[in-house]
Structure 1
Amino acid sequence: MSVFTKIIKGEIPSYKIAESDDFYAFLDIFPLVKGHTLIVPKMEVDKFFDVTDDLLGEWLLFAKPIARSIERAFPCNRVGVSVVGLEVPHAHMHLIPINTADDMNFSRPKLKLSEEEFRAIQGQIIAGLAR
């Protein structure tokens, strides 16, 4: 069972942003920038392109309002999408507010945020979804 499956099942705490029958979105606890969010399918699949065609399309539709909310909450040129998949053997998508391509450089040092900062970020993104 992957760490993401444990998060989805509530065995590991997370800063949940949104959830559907098929997907779970939550803040990355090692973010590149504030607002960095992960979206994972609830079905545990290792590689992104092993996800069914229908689920791939639904994934983008699930991500779209979250990306728009991130963009409103954190000043940026756009929300970048990255699928790297090396860290955890469970397909996942990164939504990252960016101003330059370097903002998506995963070799950069990660932010160290407090629980209060994570909760504030979570609240901002969730509030934007309610619009």
Structure 2
Amino acid sequence: MATIFTKIIEREIPAQIVAEDDKHIAFLDINPLVEGHTLVVPKAEVDYIYDMADEDYLALQAFAKKVAKAVKAGIPCLRVGVAVIGLEVPHTHIHLVPLNKMDDINFSRKKLNPSAAELAAAADKIREKM
């Protein structure tokens, strides 16, 4: 069964996509920790990041680096934090979280519930910097 991320990749579910190439996609988390919280995902379904072939893993990290630079340029923050948890969706993904304080990347805190317009505005800020 296709994951929710595959459904986004195949455009069966809408998402605020900020970057894409032939093997990767980056889109905003719909329940972000902070504005600009972005998920970077390989298009191939691999459940666990360390099960990826080395070449694919390195390509994903390079793509995430490009996206992180755009996130930092588009969303006011001191840094962009990186987290790979891998328990929520059985499809490898990297969280890029704009950071102004340590608690910004605390996954146990309450998530935001932005409107579609707020998500679109954040995505535009990031896309402008890609």
User: Which interval holds the TM-score relative to the shorter structure?
Assistant: over 0.9
Report the TM-score, using the length of structure 1 for normalisation: 0.95
Deviation, 1:96, is 0.5
User: Which residue number in structure 2 is paired with residue 34 of structure 1?
Assistant: 35
User: Which residue number in structure 2 is paired with residue 123 of structure 1?
Assistant: 124
Deviation, 1:73, is 1.6
Moved more, 29-38 or 100-109: 100-109
Q: How many angstroms apart in 2 are the aligned matches of 1:125 and 1:48?
A: 25
SS, match of residue 129 in structure 2: helix
Deviation, 1:65, is 1.9
User: Which residue number in structure 2 is paired with residue 24 of structure 1?
Assistant: 25
User: Which residue number in structure 2 is paired with residue 43 of structure 1?
Assistant: 44
User: Which residue number in structure 2 is paired with residue 86 of structure 1?
Assistant: 87
Q: Which amino acid aligns with 1:47?
A: Y
Q: What is the CA deviation profile of residues 63-108 of structure 1, one whole-angstrom value per residue up to 9, with x for unaligned ones?
A: 1221111111222121011000111000100000012222111111
Q: How many angstroms apart in 2 are the aligned matches of 1:58 and 1:101?
A: 28
- How many pairs does the alignment contain? 129
Q: What is the CA deviation profile of residues 96-125 of structure 1, one whole-angstrom value per residue up to 9, with x for unaligned ones?
A: 001222211111111111111111001000
Q: Which amino acid aligns with 2:87?
A: L
Q: How many angstroms apart in 1 are the aligned matches of 2:40 and 2:79?
A: 17
User: Residues 56-75 of structure 1: matches in 2 within 5 Å?
Assistant: 56-75=57-76
Matched, 1:13 2:14: yes
Residue identity (%): 50
Q: Which amino acid aligns with 1:29?
A: I
SS, match of residue 128 in structure 1: coil
SS, match of residue 21 in structure 1: coil
Q: Which runs of 4+ in 1 moved over 3 A?
A: none
**RMSD of Structure 2 on Structure 1 (CA):** 0.8
Q: Which consecutive residues of structure 2, in runs of 5 or more, have no partner in the other structure?
A: none
